[in-house]
Amino acid sequence: MPRHFANLTGAATLPTSTFQLTARIVDDLVANCAMGVLHGPAGTGKTYAMESALEDQAARNPGLAVTLLSFTSQPTMRLVGDQLLTELTGAATAGGRNRFQITAKLIDLLAHPKRLVVVDEAQRLNSNCIEMLRHLHDDRKTNFALLYVGGDGCWEVLSREPMLRSRIFRRLPFRPLGPAEIPDLIRAYHPIYEGADTELLRSIDETYGHGTMRDWASFTHTAAALCEDADRTRIDAEVVANAFTLLGGGVYA
């Protein structure tokens, strides 16, 4: 199981529709060596869903190699090539190579075995970097699926490139959970929410959670610690108030 935000223990995986669709989309991309995008605001569970789908792939498809890439802000084409080469070879790239040689080497390395390349924080890529990844993906010799995962602005960046419109095989937008979904999902999320009052859960979501799983994980981490300190098994209004105090409300919460 993938790691929850802030190493939260005891939390369950929420079977949201986007979470389940992610597994299906990764399946489709790998089967067709195609290109796909997971995008949505920060904390909506993209990375968790992607990691879970990759674990699932590793269990069912042991021959599949997975390469994870994440770049600093505003990477150059050269940096993308070097980092991909480093990930594929496991060694630092030798200097002095020209762009043609790096590209040719990457094409050779991406030819075998079947591979899934995941580019996290894809909104940081510029047009040249996207063109380079397209060039590698379009080459007849390469054999890999390409999954872009990005936060705010990711789809705006990718959709500016006309070349991607006809190449994106699967796209999945992530959104914050709606207030109606919260109570049922959260009760199954962690033992401290078992049987919790619907209104209490909605008030937590309104005040802190905002439908994003990262905020709910942060709140749960704090609330679980407070419950343990107070020798309680479930949250109540007092634990919630103390958690808000620790999570930014201060003494005025």
Helix (H) or strand (E) holding 38: strand 35-39
Give the footprint of another protein on this chain (CB under 8 A): 77, 98-101, 103-104, 127-128, 131-132, 134-135, 138-140, 160-163, 165-167
| Nearer of residues 21 and 104 to another protein, judged by Cβ | 104
Q: How far is the CB of 66 from another protein (least distance, A)?
A: 24
Q: How far is the CB of 140 from another protein (least distance, A)?
A: 5
| Nearer of residues 20 and 128 to another protein, judged by Cβ | 128
Q: How far is the CB of 97 from another protein (least distance, A)?
A: 10
| Nearer of residues 26 and 77 to another protein, judged by Cβ | 77
Measured distance CA(119)–CA(131) in Å, rounded: 14
Residues whose CB falls within 8 Å of the CB of residue 179, separated by 6 or more in sequence, listed in order = 202, 205, 206, 211
Q: How far is the CB of 158 from another protein (least distance, A)?
A: 13
Q: Within the chain, where are the H helices? A: 17-32, 46-60, 77-89, 99-109, 127-138, 154-159, 162-165, 182-187, 198-204, 213-229, 237-244
| Nearer of residues 168 and 239 to another protein, judged by Cβ | 168
How far, in whole angstroms, is CA 8 from its chain's centroid?
A: 17
